[in-house]
Amino acid sequence: MVLFLAVTVVTYVIFYVTPSDPARLAAGQGATPEDVQRVAERLHLDEPVWEQYGRFLWQLVGEQSLGESFVNRQDVNDIVLRAAPVTGALVFGGAIFWLTLSIPIGIISALRPRSLIDRAGMVFVLIGLSAHPVWIGLIFAYFIGYKLELTPITGYADFFNPSQEHGGPVQWAYHMILPWSTFAILFAALYVRLIRANVMETMNEDFVRTARAKGAPESQVIRSHVLRNSMLPIVTILGMDIALALGGAIFTESIYSLPGLGRQVLQSYENFDLPVIQGIVVFSTLCIIVFNLIVDLLYAVVDPRIRLT
Amino acid sequence: MAVLEVSDLRTSFRTDDGVVKAVDGVSFSVERGKTLGIVGESGCGKSVTCLSIMGLNNRQNTISSGEARFNGENLLEMSSRKLRTLRGNEIAMIFQDPMTSLNPVHTIGRQLVEAVMLHRDVTKRDARLRALELLKAVGIPRADRRIDDYPHQFSGGMRQRVMIAMALINEPDLLLADEPTTALDVTTQAQILSLMTSLQEEFETAIIMITHDLGVVAEIADDVVVMYAGKVAEEGTVDEIFTRPYHPYTWGLLGSLPRLDADLDRLVQIQGSPPSLLNPPRGCRFHPRCPYVMNVCRSVVPELLPVSHSPQHLQACHLDEETKDQEVQKLLEGTLAEAS
Amino acid sequence: MSEDLLVVDDLAMHFPVTRGIVFQKQVASVKAVDGISFTVKQGETLGVVGESGCGKSTMARCLMRLLDPTSGRITFAGRDITHLTRTEMRPIRRELMMIFQDPYASLNQRKRVGFIVAEALQVHKIGTPAEVKRRVQELLDVVGLNPEHYNRFPHEFSGGQRQRIGVARALAVNPKLIVCDEPVSALDVSVQAQILNLLKDLQRDFGLTYVFIAHDLNVVRHISDRVLVMYLGKIAEIAERDLLYAQPKHPYTGALLSAVPIPNPELGRLRRAIVLEGDVPNPIDPPEGCRFHPRCPRFRPGHCDVEEPQLRAFGAGHGAACHYPLERWPMSGEEIRRADEEAVAAG
């Protein structure tokens, strides 16, 4: 609750500190000063900041509404809810992608340090960490999308409502492959390194030695003793990363023209569309809070030491 | 009848700085129902010796040679698969730190059952019954409820008991115990040692007890091996080693102990510190710290030879027996020359 | 007649256990030290012995005023230091120094040895830089290190040598009292002997007073004049060293003495240890009445679990807190129980 209030207040303050004139922008080009004044009144921009903030909170709590966009008077709720699933698909799909990629590589690298696989994995990590997602996105879009024509370059296909000529699950996935890969590479690189380090460290733990001393075959040692213990820290970090990513996978959405929250934020920012920005901030904060909760609960499930306290 | 016979065991580790000769020619044997104490300070190779016997060293950078004959077969030349059937079954090992030696995310019941199921073709239910049996045998109160608890719900002493239960669950012929009581309080240590001796009586298990504590050795060992810098300095029965030790290092060790049963003004100090095993001293490894050093000690490695009046008692030192007898006298009188 | 250098009166240190995220409510307290009193005379060594959870380390920190005692009084060199502020404690810290257990962790790895030893001198602004340097070299020599190693870093020294550096550091300002918190527990046996000999020599040469904390009864016996046995935050027994080891009155002391392994196989075989039941308990929830009663072989229901025994005198300076102290020593576990039954039968 405190976090929530803090975040929204900060957004408001920042907004009002930056020099801008949303009323004029909203009124459009060629508006007369009177038009601007009228717009300003309409959007309550002529009121003192704290009144506007109060109005915002009242609206939120009482009407569950995030207000209306300065730019096109659309319901912010709608805007956010339309964009959220796109970002959601990107992030969650990307998360599955990067986990499927990083877990095996991380584990194998740890089990066979300095082998060819391990070294290849490390090169991959280096590239993943150093290359900017935008650059990767462009490269991917160019080679795989354009040159090889394996996947569409941009655009989003709605999962549930097939519209126009593309839609439905297959098309959806098809369109998402590139964005997922781009989004995931950075995280995959981080996770490979993390998993590798964790697994290697766990392998040296005393209880692993005990398991071997009992005569367990190596596969059982790994499966039963090493994996679960080395994955514990991953759970916490995963929760945090997803929460952050939801806030705006900005770069990836821009490259691939995916109508998600990230792109929305960029647009709204350019237009000084406060309600939308505020709406997205509210939504993201909510997500982070919820996710942290889920992670905490998950951690208690996975690690019995946490359960009893 | 010997359960384990070790001859000329050598284990080296390849490290970035070079080859570390952690164990350099160690030989001893353990009889059924008896306890062998391997005593020495940190870095002397006592732990590595036992890990080598069990084959638990990191395969990638370890070179082991020599023999460790268990019931006739050389463990060091055994295939991993065969070795695994023995580990936890006929040869078991318990470690120093009970806090970290148990998997924190599995119940102890599950870990015990795993120990059984690895080597016995029984149902999970029978394995669990067996686990309960052992938990009771090692003195865990309310075992039927505690079997489903996690390691962190037990105290240090209790955890060590669980480790002992896990090690003995398949009735091994040989138990290797690597400093099992070092991390425990002294009253808990007394409990654990008492438990181990009574279980030994019941199952006739041979025990190798590694420790740096000469008091513990005196209490429970039948035979003793004193190690220094990867080699055996002296070995014999516990009475021989404590009443007629024949190696300057042993004298130093015994003399440096503050004790309840003697009044010493000054403790014997062994000057210097244990050597690096990357580049051990030439000749006798103890010579840089030995107050009785002679020229031969600096160049010739002393062999492990029997003492004239007691062939079971072996020692590796160039010093003649007469001088040794004199020094032993001094030690017993508490007037041993200081090494500094 | 030696002066009382340190007087501790009913010292208690309780750590609150709180619940709640925003509004913290105290639900329990860890009574690490719960009412102990003793004195230490100038020039003597008081050994403090006990197992984990007994409170000896917490007590050490209270003595050094690294903690703020919950209640009680600490008088050092005639002055009440219990609740002095940091500034007020400053000049007193010159006379009250500490040596720590872990030679690897207690020295700042990034500072040179010369700096580490000289730090106290510099804090208290004693001596010119030249004098300080000379003093440091003198100290390094006194503790058996090479004065030329002034400029080396801790990692270039072995464990035993690092502990010597710790000792030099404590000596730098000529303290009156040094609290040694398990200074040899982390060292190998042969190195342990070096440090113990050193501490004894220094005591003789500089007239130092020690409070020596350890869990090893052998070590404590070697270096102490008087010994204090702690159990779960309270004093079980306190006596002159020889008396404590020869005629312990408290069953816990008896159990400790019989549990300590002696490097003498014959004696070891003859001895029948008093093996205690159960584990060393948790100071959050100490047992009612006598804290030792759940593990005591002399436990008398109705008395020991109801009334807490006070420290009783058994001759000069010998106190034990027990309702049924040991009549003689040595006694084995069975003998202790039997003696108790006889006492019951006798009425």
Q: What is the DSSP string of B246-303?
A: -SHHHHHHHHT---TT---SS-----S-PPPSSSPPSSSTTGGG-TT--HHHHHSPPP
C74 touches B: beta carbon within 8 Å:
no
Residue C130 has pLDDT above 70, yes or no: yes
Q: Under 8 Å CB-to-CB from B38, ≥6 apart: which residues?
A: B28, B46, B49, B50, B208, B209, B210, B211, B224, B225, B227
Cα C200 to Cα C188: distance, rounded to the nearest angstrom: 18
Residues of chain B with C-beta less than 8 angstroms from the C-beta of A233: none
Q: What's the gap in Å between the CA of B133 and the closest CA on chain A?
A: 18
Least confident window among A45-54, A84-93, B133-142, B222-231: A45-54
Residues of chain A with C-beta less than 8 angstroms from the C-beta of B101: 206-207, 209-210
Check CB contact under 8 Å for A228 and B153: no
- For the CA atoms of B281, B286, B291, B292, the dihedral, rounded to the nearest 10 degrees, stands at -100
Locate the DSSP E strands across chain B.
Answer: 2-15, 18-31, 35-39, 62-70, 73-74, 91-94, 174-178, 206-211, 223-228, 231-237, 305-307, 310-315
C145 touches B: beta carbon within 8 Å:
no
Residues A177 and A264 in one domain: yes
Interface test with B, best of C54, C157, C190 (most B CBs within 10 A): C190
Q: Is C293:C316 a contact under the CB 8 Å cutoff?
A: no
Residue C126 has pLDDT above 80, yes or no: yes
Nearest CB among B54, B101, B150 relative to A207 is that of: B101
Name the pLDDT band for A161 (thresholds 50, 70, 90).
Answer: very low
Q: What secondary structure letter does DSSP report for C29?
A: E
Residues A43 and A113 in one domain: no
Check CB contact under 8 Å for B87 and A308: no
Report which of residues B321 and B175 the model is more confident about: B175
Name the pLDDT band for A165 (thresholds 50, 70, 90).
Answer: very low
Residues A126 and A255 in one domain: yes
Least confident window among A136-150, C114-128, C158-172: A136-150
Check CB contact under 8 Å for C222 and B260: no
Q: Residue A133's Cα: distance from chain center in Å?
A: 13
Check CB contact under 8 Å for C218 and B191: no
| C159-171 and C129-142 helices, crossing angle to 10° | 130
Q: Is C157:C165 a contact under the CB 8 Å cutoff?
A: yes
Residues of chain B with C-beta less than 8 angstroms from the C-beta of C275: 187, 190-191, 194
Residues of chain C with C-beta less than 8 angstroms from the C-beta of B139: none
Q: Under 8 Å CB-to-CB from B309, ≥6 apart: which residues?
A: none
Least confident window among A64-68, B2-6, B92-96, C272-276: A64-68
Nearest CB among A207, A225, A232 relative to B100 is that of: A207
**Sign, CA torsion B212/B218/B222/B228:** positive
Q: Which helix (H) or strand (E) holds C98?
A: strand C96-99
Sheet of C209-214: strands edge to edge? C96-99, C177-181, C209-214, C45-49, C226-231, C234-240, C319-320, C312-313
Longest Cα pair distance anywhere in chain C, in angstroms?
75
- Token representation of residue A118: 């391990």
Q: What secondary structure letter does DSSP report for B87?
A: B
Amino acid at B282: R
Q: What's the gap in Å between the CA of C278 and the closest CA on chain B?
A: 8
Interface test with B, best of A210, A226, A229, A230 (most B CBs within 10 A): A210
Report which of residues B338 and A307 the model is more confident about: A307
Q: Which helix (H) or strand (E) holds C4?
A: strand C4-19
Average pLDDT, chain B: 88
Q: Angle CA(B281)–CA(B283)–CA(B289) in degrees, nearest 5?
A: 55
Reported as a single tens digit per residue, the pLDDT across B45-63 is 898 999 999 988 887 788 8
Backbone angles phi, psi at C190, to 5 degrees: -70, -35
Q: What secondary structure letter does DSSP report for C48?
A: E
Cα B100 to Cα B119: distance, rounded to the nearest angstrom: 24
Q: What is the pLDDT of residue A287?
A: 75
Residue A57 has pLDDT above 70, yes or no: no
Interface test with C, best of B237, B260, B263, B276 (most C CBs within 10 A): B260
Residues of A with CB under 8 A from a CB of B: 205-207, 209-217, 224-225, 228-229, 232, 302-305, 308
- Token representation of residue C224: 């102490």
Q: Is B62:B12 a contact under the CB 8 Å cutoff?
A: yes
Nearest CB among B186, B193, B212 relative to C189 is that of: B212
Report which of residues B74 and A244 the model is more confident about: B74
Check CB contact under 8 Å for A216 and B118: yes
Reported as a single tens digit per residue, the pLDDT across C327-338 is 888 777 777 776
Q: Is B109:B98 a contact under the CB 8 Å cutoff?
A: no
> What global pTM score does this model have?
0.80
Cα A98 to Cα A108: distance, rounded to the nearest angstrom: 16
Residues A58 and A87 in one domain: no
Check CB contact under 8 Å for B114 and A224: yes
Residues of chain C with C-beta less than 8 angstroms from the C-beta of B259: 218, 221, 262-264
Q: Is residue C329 exposed (0-12), middle (13-18) or buried (19+ Cβ within 10 Å)? A: middle
Q: Is B37:B211 a contact under the CB 8 Å cutoff?
A: yes
**Which chain A residue lies closest to B58 (C-alpha atoms)?**
A204
* DSSP letters for A239-286: HHHHHHHHH--HHHHHHHT--SHHHHHHHHHHTT-HHHHHHHHHHHHH
B263 touches C: beta carbon within 8 Å:
no
Cα B14 to Cα B59: distance, rounded to the nearest angstrom: 11
Residue pairs spanning B and C at CB distance below 8 A: 126
Least confident window among A139-153, A234-248, B164-178, C143-157: A139-153
Name the pLDDT band for B29 (thresholds 50, 70, 90).
Answer: very high
Complex ipTM tops 0.85: no
Residue length of chain A: 309
Q: What is the pLDDT of residue B170?
A: 92
Report which of residues C72 and A30 the model is more confident about: C72
Longest Cα pair distance anywhere in chain B, in angstroms?
67
Name the pLDDT band for A162 (thresholds 50, 70, 90).
Answer: very low
Residue A25 has pLDDT above 70, yes or no: no
Q: Is residue A108 exposed (0-12), middle (13-18) or buried (19+ Cβ within 10 Å)? A: middle
Provide the number of structural domains found in chain A: 2
Residues A34 and A105 in one domain: no
Q: Which chains touch B (3 or more CB pairs under 8 A)?
A: A, C
**Which chain B residue lies closest to C54 (C-alpha atoms)?**
B185
Name the pLDDT band for A9 (thresholds 50, 70, 90).
Answer: low
Check CB contact under 8 Å for C193 and B270: yes
Q: What is the pLDDT of residue B207?
A: 95
- For the CA atoms of B230, B234, B239, B245, the dihedral, rounded to the nearest 10 degrees, stands at -120
Check CB contact under 8 Å for C197 and B185: no
Q: Under 8 Å CB-to-CB from A160, ≥6 apart: which residues?
A: none
Residues of chain B with C-beta less than 8 angstroms from the C-beta of C264: 218, 242, 259, 261
Q: What is the pLDDT of residue B124?
A: 92
Q: Is B267:B58 a contact under the CB 8 Å cutoff?
A: no
Residue A68 lies in a domain: no
Residue A209 has pLDDT above 50, yes or no: yes
Name the pLDDT band for C37 (thresholds 50, 70, 90).
Answer: very high
Nearest CB among C188, C197, C279 relative to B267 is that of: C197
Check CB contact under 8 Å for A304 and B105: yes
B208 touches A: beta carbon within 8 Å:
no
Q: What is the pLDDT of residue A65?
A: 62
- Token representation of residue C61: 């920190």
Residue A29 has pLDDT above 90, yes or no: no
Residue pairs spanning A and B at CB distance below 8 A: 72
Q: What is the pLDDT of residue A1?
A: 61
Residues A199 and A290 in one domain: yes
Q: Residue B271's Cα: distance from chain center in Å?
A: 25
Check CB contact under 8 Å for C188 and B42: yes
Residues A107 and A194 in one domain: yes
Check CB contact under 8 Å for A207 and B105: no
Residue C91: asked if its preceding bond is cis (omega within 30°), the reply is no
Q: What's the gap in Å between the CA of C45 and the closest CA on chain B?
A: 15
Reported as a single tens digit per residue, the pLDDT across B276-332 is 888 888 889 998 888 888 888 888 888 888 888 888 898 888 888 888 888 888 877
Domain extent listing, chain B: 103-166, 242-333
Neighbours of A116 (CB within 10 A): 8
Nearest CB among C158, C256, C263 relative to B242 is that of: C263
Mean pLDDT, residues C165-181 taken together? 91
Interface test with C, best of B42, B140, B179, B185 (most C CBs within 10 A): B185
Residues of chain A with C-beta less than 8 angstroms from the C-beta of B95: 206, 209-210, 213
| A2-17 and A274-302 helices, crossing angle to 10° | 150
Q: Residue C328's Cα: distance from chain center in Å?
A: 26
Question: DSSP alpha helices (H): ranges in chain C?
Answer: 56-63, 86-93, 113-123, 129-142, 159-171, 189-206, 217-223, 241-246, 251-259, 265-270, 333-346
Cα B148 to Cα A162: distance, rounded to the nearest angstrom: 53
Range of the domain at A6: 2-63
Report which of residues A118 and C99 the model is more confident about: C99
**Which chain C residue lies closest to B340 (C-alpha atoms)?**
C194
Reported as a single tens digit per residue, the pLDDT across A225-234 is 888 888 888 8
C280 touches B: beta carbon within 8 Å:
yes
Q: What's the gap in Å between the CA of C338 and the closest CA on chain B?
A: 21
Q: What is the pLDDT of residue A155?
A: 60
Nearest CB among A212, A229, A304 relative to B56 is that of: A212
Q: Under 8 Å CB-to-CB from B233, ≥6 apart: which residues?
A: B226, B227, B247, B249, B250, B286, B315, B316, B317
* HEC string for B146-164: HCCCCHHHCCHHHHHHHHH
Residue A52 has pLDDT above 70, yes or no: no
Cα B20 to Cα B276: distance, rounded to the nearest angstrom: 8
Q: Angle CA(B47)–CA(B81)–CA(A201) in degrees, nearest 5?
A: 50
B105 touches A: beta carbon within 8 Å:
yes
C255 touches B: beta carbon within 8 Å:
yes
- Token representation of residue C299: 């436990």
First to last CA, chain A: 24
Nearest CB among B215, B239, B258 relative to C222 is that of: B258
Q: Is B187:C53 a contact under the CB 8 Å cutoff?
A: no
Residues A59 and A88 in one domain: no
Percent of chain B with pLDDT over 70: 98
Q: What is the pLDDT of residue A166?
A: 47
Q: What's the gap in Å between the CA of C161 and the closest CA on chain B?
A: 10
User: Per CATH, which fold does C4-19+27-95+175-346 belong to?
Assistant: Rossmann fold (3.40.50)
Residue A164 has pLDDT above 60, yes or no: no
Q: What's the gap in Å between the CA of C195 and the closest CA on chain B?
A: 9
B56 touches A: beta carbon within 8 Å:
yes
- Token representation of residue A108: 């194998």
B1 touches A: beta carbon within 8 Å:
no
Pairing label, strands B174-178, B91-94: parallel
Longest Cα pair distance anywhere in chain A, in angstroms?
86
Reported as a single tens digit per residue, the pLDDT across B228-243 is 999 999 999 999 998 8
Q: Which chains touch C (3 or more CB pairs under 8 A)?
A: B
Check CB contact under 8 Å for B87 and A215: yes
Average pLDDT, chain A: 72
* DSSP letters for chain A: -HHHHHHHHHHHHHHHHS---HHHHHH-TT--HHHHHHHHHHTTTTS-HHHHHHHHHHHHHHH----B-TTT--BHHHHHHHHHHHHHHHHHHHHHHHHHHHHHHHHHHHHSTTSHHHHHHHHHHHHHHHS-HHHHHHHHIIIIIIIS--S-SS----SSS-BTTB-HHHHHHHHHHHHHHHHHHHHHHHHHHHHHHHHHHHHTSHHHHHHHHTT--HHHIIIIIIHHHHHHHHHHHHHHHHHHHHH--HHHHHHHT--SHHHHHHHHHHTT-HHHHHHHHHHHHHHHHHHHHHHHHHHHHH-HHHHT-
